[in-house]
Amino acid sequence: METTMMHLPMTVQMIMDHGRNVFPDSRVGTFDGDSMVYTSYAEIADNAARLAAALQSLGIVPGDRVATFSWNNTAHMEAYLGIPSMGAIMHTVNIRLSAEHIAYIINHAENRVVLLDASLLDVFSPVLPLLKTVEHILLIGEGELITDIPTQDYRQLLAANKPLQDWPELDETSAAAVCYTSGTTGNPKGVVYSHRTTFVHSLASRGVDTFGICESDRILLLPAMFHANAWGMPYSGWFSGSDFTLPGPHLQPEGIKRMIALEKPTVTATVPTILGDLLRADSADLDMTCFRSIICGGSSVAPAMIDAARERWGVPVLQGWGMTETSPLCTVSHPPRDFTGADETQWRTKSGRPVAGMQVRVIDEEGNPLPHDGETVGELQLRGPWVTGGYHKGDSPDSVSDDGWLRTGDVGHIDQRHFVQLTDRTKDVIKSGGEWISSVELEDIIAGHPNVQQAAVVATADERWQERPLVIVVAEEGIDAQQLREYLKDKVARFWIPEYWSFTDDIPKTSVGKLDKKRLRDMNESGALKVEVIR
């Protein structure tokens, strides 16, 4: 007995069409630093169709790669819709990478066209001489570019082209977009999303128990559209008819506060650092009660911040775990329905349960599955309809297990209801005399000290224990290692308490704002850190 169902490919075209047809009046606002510039869905869809026609006129055919190098703005949304829908592949280039890495990934993905945000000319200029495949640059906004690569004004080119009417029929397993990992070790690696994975991920994201994106949402899109698809919200929001607030380059606390005042967003996604900024902001000119939820990811959120957001604003913090390799949604930390008010924060500090369709397991060093007991720590591995099974051009072939699960490089445990708790990165975990110490847990606890601003923990060589934790800490004057060791005494196992301490003014971050532990380890090995040892 064969299925009788029609096989309609699930594509970005469908997402684009749905937003345009059902929600023509929904709007996308881009912040100019002072006020909002609005564009309707109808107009954005029209521009996406003009962009597709323009790219065709430049010789772009299905399968070709078109890069974006841009902040979150209206043109970027047009690219998200128009490029994949014409069968080309959108490459969202991470503007925070080094010029060498930017050139590397544009060359590696063989991009023929770059959509370049004029406000990023300074960042992009050093990349220009290194490019090998780019034939056209479309400049969005005012600016001058010194290059032999033919350059056109994006808006003029769109105006000169009629909206594309005949969109190609696409195979749903064809590539829609490519995004490179931030490459904290080695060269960045390309994850190539298909139309199908983007479509299904968008549907999943709209679930009540996922992000619950819906028509009445006003999304403050703080996650970068150049990194991990901005948590998939450009597509899930458009599919739902949500209004968008796009910050452009204005990601400082003052700008964010202004956008919140202007737009009263219902939902945002951000990193703990920004949430901390908002919590520290003067509450007199910041009304956060408009939010139904603040999604937090990238690194773990301190319980004190979750408590503060609830107590001060009445806003639940929704922690999520995701990565470029997973489109990016893996888990979200909705408390289970049998939670009591008292334990709410405890649930919200977890990494969460798998989104419907995602599967997660925990594995020991020999590749054997470990029990889901909420304690046993091992490497976390994932499978699902929107998970990568490798990297472009076969990079890092060992990133997937023999039986087809993605090795996340994250370490943690899973409980009987599949609540996942990340405890560390595989490469950051500290192996001290055969026992594992979680660098992340130590960081969270130390950063919870009222006089500590930031803390990073990496392994340092130790004669007796092979590895011991080294704490790099930014603290108020007068705070010393002995005080912090005292502070830790009733909070962690005794063997976790670090002997190695380095006080500094700033901790280096990666291109996406995470603690740059690779750099810290290098600095430690080369003697660039001033380390005191207290036993």
Binding to a second copy, residues 366-405 (CB under 8 A): 383-392, 400, 404
- d(Cα 379, Cα 388) in Å, to the nearest integer? 17
Cβ closest to a second copy, residue 263 vs residue 441: 263
Nearest Cα to Cα of residue 168 among 9, 286, 329: 9
Q: Does 193 bind a second copy (CB under 8 A)?
A: yes
Give SS3 for 443. helix
272 binds a second copy (CB under 8 A): no
528 counts as binding a second copy under rule CB under 8 A: no
Interface residue with a second copy, options 57, 216, 376, 451 (CB under 8 A):
216
Shortest distance, position 460 Cβ to a second copy, whole Å = 36
Q: CB neighbours of 180 closer than 8 A, spacing ≥ 6?
A: 93, 94, 105, 108, 109, 188, 189, 190, 191, 324
| Phi/psi of residue 197, nearest 5 degrees | -65, -35
Two structure tokens written together for 165: 């009417």
Q: Which stretch binds a second copy (CB under 8 A): 12-20, 134-142, 315-323, 526-534?
A: 12-20
Q: Which of 133, 167, 347, 436 is catalytic?
A: 436
Active-site residue flag, 431: yes
Query: Does residue 17 belong to the site contacting a second copy (CB under 8 A)?
Result: yes
**In b/e form, how buried is each residue of 112-131, taking b as 16+ CB within 10 angstroms?**
bbbbbbbbbbebbeebbeeb
Rounded Cα distance between 276 and 311, Å, is: 14
State the Cα torsion 263-244-111-166 to the nearest 10°: -140
The answer to whether the CB of 268 falls within 8 A of the CB of 72 is no
Q: How far is the CB of 50 from a second copy (least distance, A)?
A: 21
Of 202-210, 251-259, 443-451, 520-528, the segment contacting a second copy by CB under 8 A is 202-210
The single residue among 417, 431, 461, 480 that binds a second copy, judged by CB under 8 A, is 417
Of 351, 348, 330, 326, the C-alpha closest to 339 is 348
Place of tokens 């139309």: 195
**Residue partners of 515: CB distance under 8 A and separation at least 6:** 299, 443, 456, 507, 508, 509
Only segment of 4-12, 251-259, 299-307, 343-351 that touches a second copy (CB under 8 A): 4-12
Q: What CA–CA distance (Å, rounded) separates 457 from 444?
A: 10
Which of 107, 359, 453, 510 is close enough to bind a second copy by CB under 8 A? Answer: 359
Kind plus residue range of the DSSP H or E element containing 447: helix 439-447
Q: Is 65 in the site for a second copy (CB under 8 A)?
A: yes
Given the residues 100, 273, 375, 431, select the one marked as catalytic. Answer: 431
Quick check: 214 binds a second copy (CB under 8 A)? Answer: yes
Least distance in angstroms from the C-beta of 414 to a second copy: 10
Beta carbon of residue 94, minimum distance to a second copy (angstroms, whole number): 17
Shortest Cβ distance from residue 104 to a second copy (Å)?
A: 16
Rounded CA separation 476/474 (Å) = 7
Site for a second copy in 84-123 (CB under 8 A): 89, 109-110
Residue 321 designated active-site = no
Shortest Å, Cβ 362 to a second copy: 13
Question: Quick check: 81 binds a second copy (CB under 8 A)?
Answer: no
Under rule CB under 8 A, residue 409 binds a second copy: no
Q: Does 192 bind a second copy (CB under 8 A)?
A: yes
Q: Is 420 one of the binding residues for a second copy (CB under 8 A)?
A: no
Smallest separation (angstroms) from a second copy to the CB of 389: 3
Cβ atoms 354, 204 nearer than 8 A: no
Handedness of CA 482, 485, 489, 494 (dihedral sign): negative
Cα–Cα nearest to 10, from 204, 208, 207 = 204
User: Does residue 337 touch a second copy according to CB under 8 A?
Assistant: yes
- Does 159 bind a second copy (CB under 8 A)? Our answer is no
78, 172, 263, 325: the catalytic one is 325
Q: Which of residues 386 and 501 has its CB atom nearest to a second copy in the complex? A: 386
Taking alpha carbons only, the member of 257, 244, 323, 246 closest to residue 71 is 246
**Taking the CA of residue 497 as centre, how many other CA atoms within 13 Å lie in the half-sphere pointing to its CB?**
16
Q: Is 181 a catalytic residue?
A: yes
State the number of CA atoms in the 13 A half-sphere of 514 facing the CB: 19
Nearer to a second copy, 381 or 438 (CB): 381
Q: Is 436 designated active site?
A: yes
183 binds a second copy (CB under 8 A): no
- 1 is a site residue for a second copy (CB under 8 A): yes
Of 5 and 284, which has the nearer Cβ to a second copy? 5
Instruction: Tell me if 262 sits within 8 A of 250, measured CB to CB.
Output: no
- Considering the candidates 181, 198, 245, 331, report the single residue annotated as catalytic: 181
CB burial of 452-484 (b: ≥16 within 10 Å; e: otherwise) equals: bebbbbbbbebeebebbbbbbbbbeeebebeeb
**Pairing of the two strands 500-503 and 136-140:** unpaired
For a second copy, which is the closer residue by CB, 414 or 455? 414
Residue 184 vs 401, nearer CB to a second copy: 401
Would you count residue 493 as binding a second copy (CB under 8 A)?
no
In angstroms, give the least distance from the CB of 418 to a second copy: 5
Per CB under 8 A, which of residues 22..61 are in contact with a second copy? Answer: 22-25
Q: Which range touches a second copy (CB under 8 A), out of 132-140, 352-360, 436-444, 478-486?
A: 352-360
The smaller minimum CB distance to a second copy, of residues 89 and 128, is found at 89
- For residue 424, give both structure tokens: 């560390």
The set of catalytic residues is: 181, 325, 431, 436
